[in-house]
Chains A and B, each alone.
Chain A
Amino acid sequence: MAGGAIAGTEARRHHGVAGERVLRRVPRTRRERLEARAGWTLVSPAIVMVAVFILFPLGFCVYISLTNWPLIGPYHFIGFANYTALAHNSVFLQSIVFTLEYTAIVTVPILVFGYLLAVFVRSNRPGASIFRTCVFLPYIVGLTTLSFLAEVELQPGYGTVNVVLSKLHLASINTVWVQNANLALVAICVLVVWLASGFTMMLLLAGMQGIPEQLYESADVDGATWWEKERMVTIPLLRRSIALSLIISVVGSILAFNQFYIITDGGPGTSTVSLVMEIYETFNTAMHVGAASAMAVVLIIVVGLITFVQFRILRADDV
């Protein structure tokens, strides 16, 4: 209603610049007004949900992080004290270093295995689509469930991992994986690479299927080898898919929680506490609401920036 007047000014303001496009957007006729109202009605439930359960908590998180928020009673603003305290919080800093270390270890193997698997299953030979499904299965089952099973199979004395490795004379059957930070990290990285390679494979495969067959045919005519075709045709045309799968896998690693909480519970000591797990512990166990929120803001900024790049890549592709 009041929007009509504002819309009119808007149209005049843009008239000279964007011309017709803007004019068509402004609800002038009855039909266009009805269309605008219908549009708002359709999007409003979604807007309310997103505003109440995502955007409000986001703002609230920043707000809390600037206070000494207690669970009960009054609070007051303390500026950036929560943030400056983080700089001296050794467990928090350690969790960041550990999370980055973990991310650095798993990212490249996931991409490389995912790429090789995609090359393998993009074939139109018999069985390729079944192999695709099989390789993707661990990802579909999910990390939470598989972490519980890994916990069982890593047990010293009888876990399948230890039994198989001892039969191959690679490790003792009594290896206690979770009592050593490095061993625990190795076990979890293997689990995650095994699980996530299928996901990267599917993303890259989707990209590969968009590459015109003629390009490979003309490369064949030029006598290109397999690797030359990958290097000259596939990889350049797959840049967007590779960038997306890297972003998704890096964000997923930065947000890692389930596997560490379930398999190591952060131990031994606090050596395998991931960043998200530290936020969880700070809030749920230590009940430091302000500190947990400040950590979360740091996490949001990092992940938000990376996801922003993801959308820029998608946008660039749309245009």
Chain B
Amino acid sequence: MSEDRRAGARPSGRAWRVAGRRRQTGTVFYVTAGCLISAIFVVPLLWEVLRSFEPTQEITSPPSLAIFSHLGIENYRSLLVGSDDVARNVVNSLIVALATALLTTIVATLAGYGFGRFRFRGSGIVFAAVLIGFMVPFQAVLTPLFLELHDLHLLNSLVGLWLFYTAFNLPFGIYIMRNTFAQVPDELVDAARVDGASVLSTLTRVLRAIVMPGIATSFLFAFLFAWTEFLGALTFLTSSSVYTLPVALSNVETGTTYGGVNFGYLTAGAVIAMVPCVIVYASLQRFYVRGLVSGAVKG
């Protein structure tokens, strides 16, 4: 459109018009290719959403055109309010993910403020310790953590899982928040100090606007981690009442506790697991990219 108008504004510019048309063709090709590429990534996900509304006997029989005539919410209903009570596991997951995101953000913000704005002896060493924490893959220390949580009576408990998730999200959060605070101009902080603001009120009032993106970034990464984490929850949780959603789904999948394998339930449960990720990501997308730019991400 705008290309056309520009070409039109130069009545004698035949070359402009040709270039504009070529541009337009290029754009059409680009958008077409983009839609095809996007389809490769999105269609399978949408297909699974559709599948989750199929009754189990449809999912587990060779495909026919009748597929679309039996769609319904039976899988969701049985999964969530049936005797399996997976609703409870969804709530567990939500509580742990939100609590992890909150605690990570608060503790990382305080620490980032300390590392980024305060001079104190030993801060370099302590920050190095945090970075060592970043280098330790949580998958490798589950055995000692299991024994430790056992002694702390935090095994098979959402509180234990929450503290474990928070600790392993902290190094990234602290790294992000330290860089965020370090980028705050000195004049701003000094001005607040001169005005007699206390340490905490400087943090909350003056820096809020500048620091908010860092906070959103560490919140988002911690939430997504805790919502999708599987191995730790599988190791630390042993009774179905405290299972998080992925662990509950792995029991649906193996058919150990929910009366045999039910692929309808499994598909519906997986779709439920997708929803918060998509919502949270869509609303906080730019903060996610900010986190990626820092480069301090774990795969």
Identify the A interface with B (CB < 8 A): 3, 6-7, 10, 24-27, 32, 35-43, 45-47, 49-58, 60-61, 64, 117, 120-121, 123, 125-128, 130-131, 133-138, 140-146, 148-149, 151-152, 155, 157-158, 160, 163, 173, 194, 196, 198-199, 202-203, 206, 240-241, 244, 248-249, 251-253, 255, 257-258, 261-262, 276, 279-280, 283-284, 289, 292-293, 296-297, 299-300, 303-304, 307-308, 310-311, 313-314, 317
A57 touches B133 (CB 8 A): no
B11 beta carbon closer than 8 Å to chain A:
no
Add 9 more A-B contacts to A50-B130, A149-B270 (CB < 8 A): A36-B118, A38-B114, A42-B114, A46-B107, A58-B141, A61-B140, A125-B30, A144-B246, A163-B62
B143 touching A54 by the CB < 8 A rule? Answer: no
Q: Is the CB of B133 within 8 A of A155?
A: no
**A-contact bits for B206-249, CB 8 A (1 contact / 0 none):** 00000000000000000010011111001100000000001001
Partner of B167, one of A53, A137, A293: A53
Q: Contact: A158 with B38, CB < 8 Å?
A: no
> Are A138 and B136 touching (Cβ within 8 A)?
no
Dominant SS among interface residues on chain A: helix
A52 to B27 Cα, complex, angstroms = 55
Q: A50-B170, A125-B30 are in contact. Are A138 and B45 (CB under 8 A)?
A: yes
Residue from B47, B115, B148, B266 within 8 A of A56 (CB atoms) = B148
Which of under 10, 10 to 19, 20 to 34, or 35 or more describes the interface residues of B?
Answer: 35 or more
> In whole angstroms, how far apart are the Cα atoms of A61 and B137 in the complex?
12
Known contacts: A42-B118, A127-B34, A206-B293. The answer to whether A160 contacts B47 by CB under 8 A is yes
B139 adjacent to A276 (CB under 8 Å): yes
B37 at the interface (CB under 8 A from A): yes
Q: Which residues of B sit under 8 angstroms from A39, Cβ to Cβ? A: 114-115, 118-120, 123
Q: Which of B12-20, B76-84, B271-279 contacts A (4 or more CB under 8 A)?
A: B271-279
Tell me the B residues contacting A by CB distance below 8 Å: 26-27, 30-31, 33-35, 37-38, 40-42, 44-45, 47-48, 51, 59-63, 107-108, 110-111, 113-115, 118-121, 123, 126, 129-137, 139-148, 163-164, 166-168, 170-171, 174, 199, 224, 227-231, 234-235, 246, 249-250, 253, 263, 266-267, 269-270, 273-274, 277-278, 281-282, 285, 289, 292-293, 295-299
Known: A27-B121, A39-B119. A134 touches B38 (CB 8 A): yes
Complex alpha-carbon distance, A55 and B167, angstroms? 10
Jot down 28 A-B pairs with beta carbons below 8 A, ordered by A: A24-B119, A35-B118, A36-B120, A45-B110, A49-B170, A51-B129, A54-B168, A55-B129, A55-B132, A57-B148, A117-B37, A120-B33, A125-B26, A125-B27, A130-B34, A133-B282, A142-B228, A144-B246, A144-B273, A145-B249, A149-B267, A151-B253, A152-B51, A152-B267, A202-B289, A206-B293, A255-B139, A283-B146
Contacts A51-B129, A126-B27, A206-B293 given: A142-B224 contact, CB under 8 Å? yes
Chain A, residue nearest B199 (CB): A38
Cα separation A142 to B227 with both chains bound (whole Å): 9
- With A140-B278, A252-B299: A42-B266 Cβ-Cβ less than 8 Å: no
Q: Chain B binding site: helix, strand, loop or mixed by DSSP?
A: helix
Report whether B266 and A152 are in contact in the complex, using a CB–CB cutoff of 8 Å: yes
Q: Is the CB of A262 within 8 A of B250?
A: yes
Q: Which residues in B have their C-beta under 8 angstroms from that of A283?
A: 142-143, 146, 235
**Is there contact, CB below 8 Å, between A255 and B299?**
yes
Which residues on A sit within 8 Å (CB–CB) of B293? 206
Nearest A residue to B227, CB-CB:
A142
Shortest Cβ distance from residue A76 to the other chain B in the assembled complex, whole angstroms: 17
**In the complex the two chains form, what is the Cα distance from A258 to B267 in whole Å?**
17
**What chain A residues lie within 8 Å of B26 (beta carbons)?**
125
Complex interface: chain B residues within 8 A of A130 (CB): 34, 38
Given known A-B contacts A45-B107, A45-B110, A148-B269, A57 and B298 have beta carbons under 8 A apart: no
What are the 8 closest A-B residue pairs judged by CB atoms, nearest first?
A252-B299, A42-B114, A39-B118, A53-B167, A46-B111, A134-B38, A142-B228, A36-B120
